[in-house]
Amino acid sequence: MSKKACVIGWPVQHSLSPVLHGYWLKQYDIDGQYNALEINPEDYGNILPILESKNYVGANLTLPHKEKIFQHLTHIDEEAKAIGAVNILKLKDGQWHGSNSDAYGFRAHLLKECPDMKKQKALILGAGGAARAITYGLKTLGFKQIILSNRTLEKAQHLANHFSVESSDWNAKENQMQGCDLLVNTTSLGMKGQAPLVLDLSQLPANAIVADIVYNPLQTPLLQAAKNKHFRTLDGLGMLIYQAVPAFEAWFGVRPEVDENVRKILEAKLC
């Protein structure tokens, strides 16, 4: 029987996941479907029965469902527990399992593009859900020093305490760039329709990597400024593509290759 998975969100029309998984389903000639399913946050308690009634074997969760689903799951993998969010649901032997591939997605993209990176110091801007996954991802990758800087300092402090890393005042973020190997923007600044993230990069070492998790636009003002100063850059599309790899494998049984074509197709959708 054809296997069905979907992305659940509110709203969900903007999601690139149906294009991404649809491409792999075709590439590997798999009899499956991947749809977009809009579920109102008020109905989050019913996500699992809704999926079952529609014969889904798996789903991706986007905000705000990622954190709220916890109380409805008895099987949650270690990485999802550590991050405090589930982005993959899989029905196995009649039971729903939750896992998280966001940290994996960021790590895999970083390792692919910058296998030679130094892992002494990273500065993460923001303290929301994405910062949580990336902080965990960088810790597991072995970064020695991780600093979280956020407009609302208490949120950075809270997250930093949770992961035993450091926090810093938003006004001091530029000073924190000294000696950094990696700078990551996880705030919504730079996203289409939002103000740009304007940073003075003069204290960032020349061999540092500048990453943005925003992928619309692909070239954020931050990445453009970093490129102009000849830093290595990583855009947000890579994390989106790599986080989908374990999900596709879990539902459809094939671990997909991340090739240039898949990027091109998604890039075209963003234009």
Instruction: Choose among 169, 140, 146, 171: nearest CA to 156.
Output: 169
| φ, ψ of residue 185 in degrees (nearest 5) | -95, 120
Residues 58-87 vs ligand ATR: string with x where CB under 6 A? -----x------------------------
| φ, ψ of residue 89 in degrees (nearest 5) | -115, 140
Q: Least distance (Å) from ligand ATR to the CB of residue 157?
A: 11
Q: Least distance (Å) from ligand ATR to the CB of residue 197?
A: 8
149 binding ligand ATR? (CB under 6 A):
no
Q: Least distance (Å) from ligand ATR to the CB of residue 1?
A: 35
List the Cα angle 241/243/248 in 5-degree steps.
Answer: 85
Q: Least distance (Å) from ligand ATR to the CB of residue 136?
A: 13
187 binding ligand ATR? (CB under 6 A):
yes
130 binding ligand ATR? (CB under 6 A):
yes
Q: Are strands 95-99 and 75-76 parallel, antiparallel or unpaired?
A: parallel
Contact 90, 251 (CB under 8 A): yes
155 binding ligand ATR? (CB under 6 A):
yes
Is 66 an annotated catalytic residue? yes
The percent of the chain in helix, strand and coil, each rounded to the nearest 5, is 45, 20, 35
Residues with catalytic function: 66
Interface residues with ligand ATR (CB under 6 A) are 63, 126-131, 150-152, 155, 186-189, 195
